[in-house]
C-alpha cells in the first residue's frame, strides 16, 4: 500500500520498552513525528502538551490503564485512538471501544499491519474533516442536530461530545434519517478497514453512541442494522 503521509504527530503509549521503541522507530521511518509515553499519567500529560493527531495506546499500563487514558483524552477533544490489547481479550476490546477507541490491534501484531491501521485511521478522520469543510451542512433528526462543518452535535440544544468514529456513524445515519442502514453498509462507509473490524465493532460503537445521545434515538432492526429516529 503506498503511504505518503504528511508529517503527522503520533503519541505511542506502551510501558514495555522493546515494543514502544520498535513501534516508534517504525512509525518514524514512515515519516511520522512520534512522542513516546510509558504510563497512564504520562500519556494524558503528553497528549495535552503535544496535541497529537492520533494515539497508539496499550491497555495494560502502570499508573492507570489505557481505558482510563482513552476516557480522559476523549473528554477534552475527539482524538483518534488505536488500542493495543492482549491476545483475544474480548473484554478489553469491547471496553476499549466503549470508551472511544476507534480501532484495535491484538498482540502480537506485525509492524506492517500497525502502520496500515494508523494510516487508515488518519485517512478516515482527515477525509471526514475535508468533506465536512467542502460541504458543511447541518443535519437534523428530531432534536438531534449535527453540524458536519464544525463536527458539533447537540441533543435538545445540549452539546454532546462524540469520538470521531461515533460522529461518522451518526452523520452516516443522519444522512438517511428514519431509514434502516445495514451494519455492513455502516462498516463500509465509516471504517477504512472493514475486513479486520467486523460488524460487532459497529454494534459496540452504536452502543456508545446511544449512551451519549439517548438510547431511543437509534433504532435496532435485528439482523439488519440501525436507523436514526426522526421524531
Ligand atoms: Ca503494556
Let me know how many helices (H) and strands (E) the chain has, helices first: 9, 12
Strand, helix or coil for residue 165: helix
Check residue 148 and give its pLDDT. Answer: 83
Ion ligand 1 neighbours, Cβ < 5 Å: 15, 58, 60
The Å distance, Cα 36 to ligand 1 centre, comes to 13
Residue closest to 166 by CA, chosen among 46, 224, 81: 81
The Å distance, Cα 61 to ligand 1 centre, comes to 5
Question: Which of 22-36, 107-121, 176-190, 201-215 shows the lowest mean pLDDT across its residues?
Answer: 176-190
Pairwise CA distance, residues 213 & 158, whole Å: 10
Give 11's strand partners.
Answer: 35, 55
> Could you tell me which residue, 27 or 128, shows the higher pLDDT?
27
The Å distance, Cα 14 to ligand 1 centre, comes to 5
121 and 163 in a common domain:
no
Domain boundary among 96, 128, 160: 128
CATH of the domain at 82: 3.40.50.2300
pLDDT at 197 over 70: no
The Å distance, Cα 8 to ligand 1 centre, comes to 24
164 and 201 in a common domain:
yes
The Å distance, Cα 13 to ligand 1 centre, comes to 8
Q: Nine-digit cell at 128? A: 471526514
Strand, helix or coil for residue 141: strand
Which domain, by its residues, includes 189? 136-228
The Å distance, Cα 51 to ligand 1 centre, comes to 22
Domain boundary among 128, 146, 172: 128
In this structure, the number of other CB atoms found within 10 A of the CB of residue 224 comes to: 12
Quote the mean pLDDT of the chain.
87
Domain boundary among 83, 101, 128: 128
Angle between helices 40-50 and 66-76 (to 10 degrees): 30
Pairwise CA distance, residues 51 & 66, whole Å: 17
Question: Which of 38-47, 55-64, 92-101, 211-220 shows the lowest mean pLDDT across its residues?
Answer: 92-101
pLDDT tens-place string over residues 33-71:
999 999 999 999 999 898 899 999 999 999 999 999 999
| Greatest C-alpha distance within the chain | 53
Q: Nine-digit cell at 99? A: 470508551
Average pLDDT over residues 1-9: 65
124 and 38 in a common domain:
yes
Inter-CA distances, 203 with 18, 95, 98, 173, 196, Å: 34, 13, 10, 14, 15
Out of 18-22, 91-95, 121-125, 128-132, the most confident range is 18-22
Check residue 176 and give its pLDDT. Answer: 82
Residue 40 and residue 71 in contact, taking contact as beta carbons nearer than 8 Å: no
pTM above 0.75, yes or no: no
Residues in the chain, overall count: 231
Name 22's Cβ contacts closer than 8 Å, sequence gap at least 6. Answer: 111
Residue 39 lies in a domain: yes
Confidence band, pLDDT 50/70/90 cuts, at residue 5: very low
Name 222's Cβ contacts closer than 8 Å, sequence gap at least 6. Answer: none
The Å distance, Cα 60 to ligand 1 centre, comes to 4
27 and 122 in a common domain:
yes
The Å distance, Cα 53 to ligand 1 centre, comes to 21
Check residue 196 and give its pLDDT. Answer: 57
The Å distance, Cα 27 to ligand 1 centre, comes to 18
Check residue 2 and give its pLDDT. Answer: 52
The Å distance, Cα 133 to ligand 1 centre, comes to 38
Residue 183 lies in a domain: yes
CATH of the domain at 154: 1.10.10.10
E strand or H helix at 123:
helix 111-134
Residue closest to 95 by CA, chosen among 126, 119, 50, 65: 65
159 and 103 in a common domain:
no
Amino acid at each position: 500500500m503506498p503511504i505518503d503521509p504528511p508529517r503527522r504527530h503520533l503519541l505511542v503509549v506502551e510501558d514495555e520498552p522493546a515494543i514502544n521503541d520498535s513501534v516508534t522507530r517504525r512509525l518514524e521511518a514512515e515519516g511520522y513525528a512520534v512522542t513516546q509515553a510509558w504510563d497512564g499519567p504520562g500519556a494524558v500529560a503528553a497528549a495535552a502538551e503535544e496535541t497529537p493527531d492520533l494515539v497508539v495506546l496499550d491497555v495494560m499500563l502502570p499508573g492507570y490503564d489505557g481505558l482510563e487514558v482513552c476516557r480522559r483524552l476523549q473528554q477534552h477533544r475527539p482524538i483518534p485512538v488505536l488500542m493495543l490489547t492482549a491476545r483475544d481479550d474480548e473484554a478489553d476490546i469491547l471496553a476499549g471501544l466503549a470508551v472511544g477507541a476507534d480501532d484495535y490491534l491484538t498482540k502480537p501484531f506485525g509492524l506492517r499491519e500497525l502502520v496500515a491501521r494508523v494510516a487508515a485511521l488518519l485517512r478516515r478522520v482527515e477525509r471526514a474533516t475535508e468533506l465536512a469543510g467542502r460541504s458543511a451542512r447541518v443535519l437534523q433528526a428530531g432534536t438531534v442536530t449535527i453540524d458536519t462543518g464544525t463536527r458539533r452535535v447537540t441533543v435538545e440544544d445540549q452539546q454532546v461530545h462524540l469520538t470521531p468514529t461515533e460522529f461518522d456513524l451518526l452523520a452516516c445515519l443522519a444522512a438517511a434519517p428514519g431509514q434502516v442502514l445495514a451494519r455492513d453498509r455502516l462498516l463500509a462507509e465509516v471504517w477504512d478497514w472493514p475486513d479486520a473490524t467486523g460488524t460487532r465493532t459497529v454494534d459496540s460503537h452504536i452502543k456508545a453512541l446511544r449512551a451519549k445521545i439517548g438510547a431511543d434515538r437509534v433504532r435496532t432492526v435485528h439482523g439488519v442494522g440501525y436507523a436514526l429516529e426522526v421524531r
